[in-house]
Chain A
């Protein structure tokens, strides 16, 4: 049996998938990783199913001992990873030997890094169960597989690697209550930058910046929300719902971050700034489908090499 031994737990280390959709009518949100793009890219690179469980890491990150020969890949944030002191880069297939130790020594970019293993991590999560933080000395089992023999040193094309930044512009479509913004606030939304507030977590990011106003201040009846929904709070500031959002929300949904750009947001930390660019639903669908096409190509390329 191959295992990962968590020698030091790091902060907020957890096992994540892409979440479980289709259970909102039971009050269960999909949950899952914050940066779906990174998870899908590195899983695909390793020949895994795209929703194979991975480790989500924050800095200071976990220290991990490989107990067995394991193919792995890192994606998302760059925390200066080293195996036995030798640098390994993100978005690349790496082969670890039994006894190798993976450490992370400093933040270069981003806030959440992902570790996927060829075959995948063994993980069962009951419906509606909260994310468990990983403690020290935990042994994580890896599924041994014969079907996936990732090509040595295979890496993800630079055109597919997300352009993370501390000051990204993310694309949004109008939310169901977009029309309730005043014309001036509508202009501010797409002109100003907004700072990620300190009360930001896996449930949602608070945004601080120019106060936005609605035409009327009437209360809204709770309605469906999703990952990336931007709600306007009564104080005129926004909150973006992230992976662990609830299924219903009672604040106006003024905008919705397109799925492709959610990773750019997910990699931000308090103090970083974000700007919004408005697109329509047709563009949002085109961008999402283009990413699916790119992933399909990567999958085909990986399968040819194994």
Chain B
């Protein structure tokens, strides 16, 4: 575990440099723990695959920890003590979301090619995709975009060689062993297998994102 500054207002806690569910669970548990008991000056805790970024207000933090040489040192100590007190075994039961997914020639833009490249029929490809539920590892790239996994090896197709300039809103894509949903129209290279009407990001909701890191997502075929 490594704690390094990311400017004067943030630090990064790195648990390793691999995509693993275990490291991701640590990052999420740290963020939850800090959210439940924020230190004075904390702004937010943001989990990523195998790290967490803790954002804080420099002045408020300095004022609250006058004996610390730097705000960074004070926050690093807070992180250390939070980590010591996390009980990983009794983690919350994840929230489960069922996401309706439309399938068809007009929405499953890459399904046929993706299936062919893996030596599968489009039907089998989809069946494998729908069979699993996926963990939300982190939110980023676009407001409300969730990086989820892990996708079955047999359908883990790479990003398109040449990204689309416009991926339609609600598109469900695969990139390696990750899956994700485009919360709005955006450029992107993930291979698109379906589309959902679910509203993944709504700025007017209390919690603007439908998902948060640590949730579980299952796709249900409709139409």
- Tell me whether B4 and A176 are in contact (CB under 8 A): yes
Range of interface residues on A (Cβ < 8 Å): 35 or more
Residue A122 CB within 8 A of the other chain: no
Contact A259 B8 (CB under 8 A): yes
Q: How far is the CA of A228 from the CA of B9 in the complex (A)?
A: 12
Point out the residue from B48, B70, B143, B212 that lies within 8 Å of A248, measured CB to CB.
B48
The answer to whether A289 and B43 touch across the interface, beta carbons within 8 angstroms, is no
Given A128-B143, A223-B12, A247-B140, the answer on whether A256 and B17 have CB atoms closer than 8 Å is: no
| A60 within 8 A of partner (CB) | no
Task: Classify chain B's interface size.
Answer: 35 or more
Is B50 in contact with A127, judged by CB distance below 8 angstroms?
A: no
Least distance between B145 CB and chain A CB atoms (Å): 5
A24 within 8 A of B: yes
Chain A residues positioned under 8 Å from B208 (CB to CB): 23, 26, 28, 127-128
B1-16 contacts to A (CB < 8 Å): 2, 4-10, 12, 14
Which residues of chain A are within 8 angstroms of B140 by Cβ–Cβ distance?
Answer: 24, 27, 222, 246-248
A224 and B51 in contact, given A282-B69, A285-B58 (Cβ under 8 angstroms): yes
Which residues of A are found within 8 Å of B144, using beta-carbon distances? 26-27, 128
Kindly identify which residue among A24, A285, A289 contacts B53, using a CB–CB cutoff of 8 Å.
A24
Q: How far is the CB of A281 from chain B (nearest CB, A)?
A: 5
A26-B144, A128-B203, A223-B53 in contact; A289/B212 too (CB < 8 A)? Answer: no
Chain B residues with CB under 8 Å of A184's CB are: none
When chains A and B are docked, how far (Å) is the Cα of A256 from the Cα of B11? Answer: 11
Given the known inter-chain contacts A24-B53, A253-B6, A284-B8, please indicate yes or no for A221 contacting B141, CB distance below 8 A. Answer: no
Bound CA–CA A105/B35 (angstroms): 51
Q: B76-123: which residues lie under 8 A (CB-CB) from chain A? A: none
Once the chains bind, are B139 and A26 in contact (CB under 8 Å)? yes
Q: Would you call A301 an interface residue if the criterion is a C-beta within 8 Å of the partner chain's C-beta atoms?
A: no
The answer for the CA separation of A246 and B19 in the assembled complex, in Å, is: 20
Q: Is the CB of A258 within 8 A of B7?
A: yes
Chain A residues positioned under 8 Å from B52 (CB to CB): 224
- Contact (Cβ within 8 A) A25 B46: yes
Does B59 lie at the interface of the complex (its beta carbon under 8 Å from any beta carbon of A)?
A: yes
For A23, list chain B residues within 8 Å (CB). 44, 208
A256 and B203 in contact, given A21-B55, A25-B44, A281-B72 (Cβ under 8 angstroms): no
* Residues in B neighbouring A220, C-beta threshold 8 A: 17
Q: Which residues between 288 and 306 of chain A lie within 8 Å of chain B, taking CB atoms?
A: 288-289, 292
Report whether B8 and A285 are in contact in the complex, using a CB–CB cutoff of 8 Å: yes
Q: Name which residue of chain A comes closest to B200, CB basis.
A: A27
- Whether a CB of chain B sits under 8 angstroms from the CB of A51 is no
Q: Which residues of B contact A22 (CB under 8 A)?
A: 43-44, 55
Residues from chain B with Cβ under 8 Å of A226 in the complex: 6-7, 9-10, 53
A229 touches B6 (CB 8 A): yes
Max chain B Cβ within 10 angstroms of own Cβ: one of A27, A129, A285? A27
Judge if B204 is at the interface, Cβ distance under 8 Å. Answer: yes
Flag whether B221 is at the interface (Cβ < 8 A).
Answer: no
Q: How far is the CA of A220 from the CA of B7 in the complex (A)?
A: 20
Chain B positions within 8 Å of A, measured between CB atoms, are 2, 4-10, 12, 14, 17-19, 31, 43-53, 55, 58-59, 62, 69-72, 138-145, 147, 183, 201, 203-204, 207-209, 212-213
Please report A residues at the B interface, Cβ cutoff 8 Å: 21-28, 126-129, 173-176, 218, 220-229, 246-248, 253, 256, 258-259, 281-282, 284-285, 288-289, 292
24 intermolecular pairs with C-beta atoms under 8 Å apart: A21-B43, A21-B55, A26-B208, A27-B145, A28-B143, A126-B204, A128-B143, A173-B5, A176-B4, A220-B17, A223-B48, A223-B50, A223-B53, A224-B51, A226-B10, A229-B6, A246-B140, A246-B141, A246-B142, A248-B140, A281-B8, A281-B70, A285-B8, A289-B62
Q: Give 14 A-B pairs besides A222-B48, A223-B53, A258-B8 with Cβ atoms closer than 8 angstroms.
A: A26-B144, A26-B209, A27-B141, A175-B6, A222-B140, A223-B14, A223-B48, A224-B6, A226-B53, A247-B46, A281-B8, A284-B7, A285-B62, A285-B71
